[in-house]
Amino acid sequence: MSIGVTSYLRGLPLAVKLIGSTLRNGNLTERRYTLQQYNQITGRKIHEILKISYDCLQDGAKRIFLDIACFFKEKNLEYVEDILGACYYGTRFYIEVLVDKSLITVADNGRLHMHDLIQQMAREIVEQEAPSNLRERSRLWYYKDVLNGGNDIEGIILDPPKQEEVMWNGLAFEKMNNLRILIVRNTQLLTSPKYLPNSLRLLDWRGYPSMTLPLDFSPPKLVCFKVYGSLFKMEEAFQKFECVTYMNFSKCELLREVPDMSHVQNLKTLSFRECRNLIKVHDSAGSLRKLILLDVGECTKLKSFPCEINMPSLEDLILSDCKSLNYFPHIVRKMDALNSIFADGTAIKELPPSIGNLSRLGTLFISSCKSLRELPNSLLMLQNLSTLALGGIQPRGGRN
């Protein structure tokens, strides 16, 4: 019984207090029945107790708490701080306050966790902003409501439980001039958006239904731009998006060439995974100084990749199964952050001697590189190299 209670509560101190009082009396059978009926019997009281902690927060902490509850539960802490940091001052401090109040927790892997009861309470608070008028609420998450929002809407997540086709005129966001967060998943909008608010900090649209963005879309504070699995072609340089930190174009089948990226120097992650018609990545992608992850894995037609890379913050480089790529870039100078390279299944003919500049490299996958004949002596300089995968390589002389 005690294991069942603690498992349900997941260490939520305020809920422990209430549940303990309701289970104090009665025998084991009665307690089990009470626990089964818990949501119906005591849910209202729990929300009232939890809301006391919320009411004591400063306004900035309240806004961040509601954003996390509606949009960022289970997301990476750094990712959330980057996005909300573009919305509010003092984001990191307020997140620490929420942790201290036990309203959220941060796991060892950096993920933000929030108890289901706390999330329910947070969403109730949003619903009470305007009980009978969706257009006056600050955040919407129920997929049938989101296209009815007005100028007060700050965040939207459109994520139905199963794939939905939605008819609209493309102008649903035209009056949402305060919209900061837009997340669209599992939804097929049958018309391309004719307008997107320039107030956006997060645009995460799986299956974006157009090859281009609206002409007047120029968001000065956009931090995250994800259009994976979409028709987007990325034909113009991103001169408008200087604050963008996260970009994901995975599975964009129409994408053939990555344009100049020298204007997005704040990028931390960049992914083109499974863009199977991608042929060329502009050389400027090799000079993104804040980039941590670069993923072009399974871009089977990729032939042109930056010949040189100078990315001091890069930790992971993924080139796996780029079957048409026959060279590995020259490492311009020491890159002390790079920990792993996955170049297995490529047509790379040789590794450059400059690979010795990767002093921290711990993992190197170059298996199934059938054109690779020899390895440079500089590989012996990599004292932190703990994993080297070479299977499927035909060495010089023809013997395995």
Q: Using CB atoms within 10 A of its CB, is residue 98 exposed (0-12), middle (13-18) or buried (19+)?
A: buried
Does 400 or 272 have the greater pLDDT score? 272
Write the pLDDT tens digit of every residue in 141-151.
876 666 666 78
Structural domains of the chain ordered from first start: 2-123 (1.10.10), 233-400 (3.80.10.10)
Does 16 or 99 have the greater pLDDT score? 99
The pLDDT assigned to 386 comes to: 95
The pLDDT assigned to 241 comes to: 85
The pLDDT assigned to 113 comes to: 92
For residues 88-99, give the mean pLDDT: 93
The pLDDT assigned to 330 comes to: 96
Q: What is the DSSP letter of 28?
A: H
For residues 40-68, give the mean pLDDT: 80
**203 close to 225: Cβ distance less than 8 angstroms:** yes
Record the tokens describing residue 29, joined without a space.
């059978």
* Confidence tier at 399 by pLDDT (50, 70, 90): very low
The label of the residue with tokens 């942790």 reads 99
**10 close to 117: Cβ distance less than 8 angstroms:** no
- For the whole model, what pTM was predicted? 0.86
The pLDDT assigned to 337 comes to: 96
CA-to-CA dists, residue 98 to 57, 62, 102, 133, angstroms: 9, 9, 6, 29
The pLDDT assigned to 8 comes to: 65
Alpha-carbon distance of 1 to 15, in angstroms, equals 16
pLDDT above 60 (res 39):
no
Write the pLDDT tens digit of every residue in 181-220.
999 998 888 788 999 999 999 999 999 999 999 988 999 9
Does 11 or 189 have the greater pLDDT score? 189
Record the tokens describing residue 292, joined without a space.
């941590």
Write the pLDDT tens digit of every residue in 58-87.
999 999 999 999 999 999 999 999 999 999
The number of C-alpha atoms within 13 Å of 164 and in the hemisphere containing its C-beta is: 14
Amino acid at site 39: N
- The candidate with the shortest Cα–Cα distance to 342, out of 369, 381, 316, is 316
**266 close to 245: Cβ distance less than 8 angstroms:** yes
For residues 277-293, give the mean pLDDT: 96
CA-to-CA dists, residue 113 to 55, 66, 118, 187, angstroms: 20, 13, 10, 26
Residues with Cβ within 8 Å of 116's Cβ and at least 6 positions away in sequence, in order, are: none
Record the tokens describing residue 269, joined without a space.
């992650």
Angle, helices 38-55 vs 116-129, to 10°: value is 70
Percent of the chain whose pLDDT exceeds 70: 88
Does 20 or 383 have the greater pLDDT score? 383
Write the pLDDT tens digit of every residue in 118-139.
898 899 999 998 887 877 889 9
pLDDT above 50 (res 47):
yes
pLDDT above 80 (res 341):
yes
The pLDDT assigned to 227 comes to: 95
Alpha-carbon distance of 364 to 317, in angstroms, equals 10
The pLDDT assigned to 117 comes to: 83
